[in-house]
Amino acid sequence: MSPRVLAALAAALLAGAALGAPDSFDARPDVRAFIDEMVQRHGFVANELEFLFRRARIREDVLRAIEPPKMPRERSWQTYRARFVNDTRIRGGVAFWSRYATTLARASREHGVPEEIIVAIIGVETLYGRQTGSFRVVDALATLAFDSPPRAAFFRSELEQYLLLARDEAFDVFSVKGSYAGAIGIPQFMPGSIRRYAVDYDGNARIDLRASPFDAIGSVGNFLRMHGWRPGEAIWAPARINGDSHRALLEAGIRPTTRVADLRGVEIVSGVTLPPEARVALIALESPAAETEYRLGLENFYVLTRYNRSSLYASAVADLAKAIRMARRASPR
């Protein structure tokens, strides 16, 4: 770690930070193995990491938050959509777009991503920077890395990326707060995504997704471009199902692999035309006591699921983006 980060750790120790507390990671073999790996692979200093893990805390609330509910509620697209496509986020999106119109136009031009998509993602993730999380990122990632077996490998990798990020950027690992899953800042990037896709968009020679909407806007655009966003192409098309021959399409998943020309039992509606060679996936948006809504997701829909691996998420972002654009057009400027 840098002298600056080490000094912050030492200051915390002098201030009376508890060592070896029952809810710390002190003296655990799996943590010891992680420390050894970080020393060997990245040249970290062992006693600095030992101190870090004595101060980091196991968060039972993180484990509760990440766990699927014991009695899961029935999935409802209508309920999910209402959480994100509503007056608060639409009005907030129009205001955010107006405030950062020049930066959004630049990001759209450079990355090929519509302004409203960038705005909608930030609106869904953090309500335009107002809800970025209250968990210490090091605690959340360490808890999930060592005490959440289903995805421990993923979170251990993100913890590694977070420590590398702290060393690269010379910030105090204990100072950063984020979501219970360790996502950071206005666009809620995981540490690995920050290191791979975040960009300095305000020209101050540093990347700050926690405080800079400019960096957040540029980074969201870059993330989508790097994951294959196709400028000028549609995201999805409405569909109607005829018979039962669509089951195989649903089982194929959300990656668009089926040519429009090869669709069977699925009809594109509302006057939308897609090229015969376009590849699509069939998306079923189900709600209790309501008719299932079907959409054909194209490549840009799949790209949105790289941000959050959920067809509900991608659908909500697309719908919020459309609503924000319509509201912006209708509002006086």
Q: Which residues have a catalytic role annotated?
A: 125
**The token pair that represents 260 in the structure block:** 């429009």
Contact 58, 147 (CB under 8 A): yes
Dihedral (CA of 49, 51, 54, 57) sign: negative
Q: What token pair was written down for 168?
A: 């690269």
Sign of the CA dihedral 132, 136, 140, 145?
positive
Give me the residue label for tokens 């909407």. Answer: 213
How many CA atoms lie less than 13 Å away from 261 in the CB half-sphere?
4
Q: Which of 215, 222, 221, 184 lies closest to 200 in space, CA to CA?
A: 215
List residues bridging with 295 in a β-sheet: 238, 283
What is the crossing angle of helices 87-99 and 311-330, to 10°?
Answer: 60
Rounded Cα–Cα distance for residues 134 and 124 (Å): 17
DSSP labels, 172-205: -TTS-EE-TT--BTTTTB-HHHHHHH----SSSS
Q: How far is CA 22 from the centre of its chain?
A: 32
Helix and strand element counts for the chain (H, E): 15, 7
